A and B are shown apart, each in its own frame.
Chain A
Amino acid sequence: MSSKTVMNVMLAFYMAIFFGFLFGPLIVMGVSAFNTSTYPQVYPIEGLTLSWFDKLLNDRDMVYGLKNSLWIGMWVVVLSVPLGLAAAMMMSQIYSKARSFYYVIVVSPVLTPGVIIGISTVVFWRDLTTATNSKFLYDGVFMAVLGQSSFISAYCMLMFMSRLNRFDRAQEEAGLDLGASQTQVFFHILLPFLRPAIFSSAVLAFLSSFENYNTTTFAILADKTLTTVLAGRVRQGTTPAISALAVLIIAVTIVGAIIYEIVKRREDRERQARLDAAHAAELRELESIEKATHHA
């Protein structure tokens, strides 16, 4: 065997182990959702059933938690995307000596354990609402939104920063020279340019919020989200109904991923079409100039 084949065999072996480790647990869980045995197991298959799904849908806490999770996720998107955008735009404009200080502060939530973010959010709002006599704000959903947004905004900021790096300031200048106000430049030039980043950061924000546990479990107080209900269930004992939930989530995300991919591809195609059109127009222009010079 040549050394190249040895390398290829080793690579294949490594890939098999890696992706086995990656997907094995999910496959095991997926299979156990359809097995009739009351303990989630893959082997032996005692019979196929869908009753675990039925049980899941009749679990009132889970359905309530799911609604809460969706509601919180929506508010996190509404809050984090604009905050992340503002923070990213501020980065290039802030007083240069304060910049590294500012950077440390806004990036710190990414590097702070989620547990600590949850705790500090609760401690702060408890004291603040007591001091200002506004106890109604000491609310689980409100604090879960704020606690999650604290670090999700930082994710969004990082995405906007990398997109803004590629922004051509000449576009802004052109707009201003043609008489647009700064506000018009923001809405008609900058925001359209940032659209892909807005879309992806909104998706990321929602998913991070939906699956968050560490921050939420403190911030939510006595209220529930899907993940906190789930954690309680898993701690109490294992039932295949939890596997069934995993199967549903996987199914939904596969559909979501496909839709995301289609949208992305269509945007790519549209951009390509625009570029082609611009290119063709340029060619026509060149041709006409050439003709004109020939005639002359």
Chain B
Amino acid sequence: MLSSTGHPFIFLLPVIAIAIFWVMAKFEPKPVGVTKKSFFERNGTPVAIYLIAAVAFWSLFMIVLPQLFMVEMSFRPKLPPIEMGGPKDLYTFENYHYFIYGSTTSSDAINWVHIKAFFLTIFASLLVAIFNFALCYPLAFYMAQVARPARVRFLLLLLIAPYWVNEILRAFAFRIIFSSGGLINKILLGMGWVDQPIDFIGNDIALYAGLGYAYMLMMIFSLYNAIETLDHAQIEAARDLGAPWWHIHAFIVIPFAKPGIASGCTLVFMLSAGSLAAPLVLGGPRSLWFTPILYDRFFQAFNWPQGAAYAFILLLACVSFVLLVLRLGRLSLGEIAK
């Protein structure tokens, strides 16, 4: 087994990548007769230095290196600080092993609790994304193609307003509404439709409603931006040719808005799968969401390497989801992340 002192190596990785691209750029055959200005000449020295320093700091110290360090840590054992870097500090798969098989002391052969939570999170996030799409599509279409500009401006203001309020407060509002003494149960009891309050929180209904609510705006904006660029004449033409309304949506608007739909669904999926506030506030005692488990790895089990491994598993799931959406929709990343 390798001893886990990989930090200098990790630092070298991005440097090597940059060096490769630099060399490639240097040795690229230049078109004859065209004299291209160098980067420093084009921007002026002070601005060029600012650009390089800012981009290097951001991409290396805030994006790439932290991620690499987290992945590296996930392959290390949990040790007291004294033994770190010592003879016991060897690379290991034990944290991933734990995710699948659980601890050696547990009687179950497989760590069902965590695996179930993981797949439930993925599945529920998918449902939230689909539900959001169904809810937001009509409004997005209305704003993008039907409504007058003044009304669109007003609707946009209305849509954005609730999102100035903190995510936790939004979840709290759902707690007030859905709790056993909350508004909905009061109404149901008062009407005599039920004799006992329904446990919306224990059944995770509050959680799903809260998640759907939390990320609606992302969906609306992605759809609106995509549908807005569709030439209204296309819809008119289809209508003149006698297409029923659902044909217009299924064969003109939706294919046209595909990048927007993909980007909306991806954003909502990612945000739900990675959300922590809503499950913490709205999750019932039995509810299982993956991020609170992750949270507990750090703050209750104090097992950082294991937490890092769980975070990496979540990251892999999200990356696979993005790749899948790109593949299915035959899109590029640039079309999604706008």
Q: A111-B266, A227-B166, A242-B169 are in contact. Are A127 and B69 (CB under 8 A)?
A: yes
Q: How many residues of B contact A (CB 8 A)?
A: 89
Whether B43 lies near A182 (C-beta < 8 A) is yes
A186 to B49, CA, bound (A): 13
Is B200 close to A, CB under 8 A?
A: no
Chain B residues near A127 (CB-CB < 8 A): 7, 69, 73
Minimum Cβ distance to chain B for residue A99 (Å): 10
Q: Which of B37-75 contact A (CB under 8 A)?
A: 39, 41-47, 50-51, 54-55, 57-59, 61-67, 69-70, 73
A42 to B276, CA, bound (A): 27
A15 to B155, CA, bound (A): 11
Q: Which of A239-269 contact B (CB under 8 A)?
A: 242-243, 245-246, 249-250, 253-254, 256-257
Q: Which of A25-33, A55-63, A273-281, A284-292 contacts B (4 or more CB under 8 A)?
A: A25-33
Nearest residue (CB) in A for B273 is: A113
Whether A105 lies near B176 (C-beta < 8 A) is no
Is B171 close to A, CB under 8 A?
A: yes
Q: A25-B170, A98-B25, A246-B169 are in contact. Are A257 and B161 (CB under 8 A)?
A: yes
Whether B183 lies near A120 (C-beta < 8 A) is no
Tell me the total A-B contact number using a CB cutoff of 8 A: 258
Whether B41 lies near A120 (C-beta < 8 A) is no
Q: Which of B158-200 contact A (CB under 8 A)?
A: 158-162, 164-177, 179, 181-183, 186
Whether A115 lies near B58 (C-beta < 8 A) is no
Q: Which of A35-94 contact B (CB under 8 A)?
A: 39-43, 82-83, 85-87, 89-90, 93
Q: Which of B182, B295, B311 contacts A120 (CB 8 A)?
A: B311
For A117-142 the 0/1 string (1 means CB < 8 A from B) is: 10111011101100100000000000
A26 to B281, CA, bound (A): 16
A152 to B76, CA, bound (A): 30
A146 to B57, CA, bound (A): 11
Q: A115-B311, A120-B70 are in contact. Are A213 and B277 (CB under 8 A)?
A: yes
Whether A40 lies near B63 (C-beta < 8 A) is no
Is B265 close to A, CB under 8 A?
A: no
Q: Which of B107-115, B135-143, B229-237 contacts A (4 or more CB under 8 A)?
A: B135-143
Nearest residue (CB) in A for B39 is: A93
Q: A116-B314, A227-B166 are in contact. Are A86 and B39 (CB under 8 A)?
A: no
Interface range for A: 35 or more
Q: A93-B42, A113-B315, A119-B308 are in contact. Are A32 and B176 (CB under 8 A)?
A: yes
Whether B62 lies near A146 (C-beta < 8 A) is yes
Contact residues of A with B, CB < 8 Å? 11, 14-15, 18-19, 21-26, 28-29, 32, 39-43, 82-83, 85-87, 89-90, 93, 95, 97-98, 100-117, 119-121, 123-125, 127-128, 131, 146, 149-150, 153, 158, 181-183, 185-186, 207, 210-211, 213-214, 217-218, 226-227, 230-231, 234-235, 238, 242-243, 245-246, 249-250, 253-254, 256-257
Contact residues of B with A, CB < 8 Å? 7, 17, 21-22, 24-25, 39, 41-47, 50-51, 54-55, 57-59, 61-67, 69-70, 73, 135, 138-139, 142, 157-162, 164-177, 179, 181-183, 186, 213, 216, 266-267, 270-271, 273-277, 280-281, 291, 294-295, 298, 304, 307-308, 311, 314-315, 318, 322, 333-334, 337-338
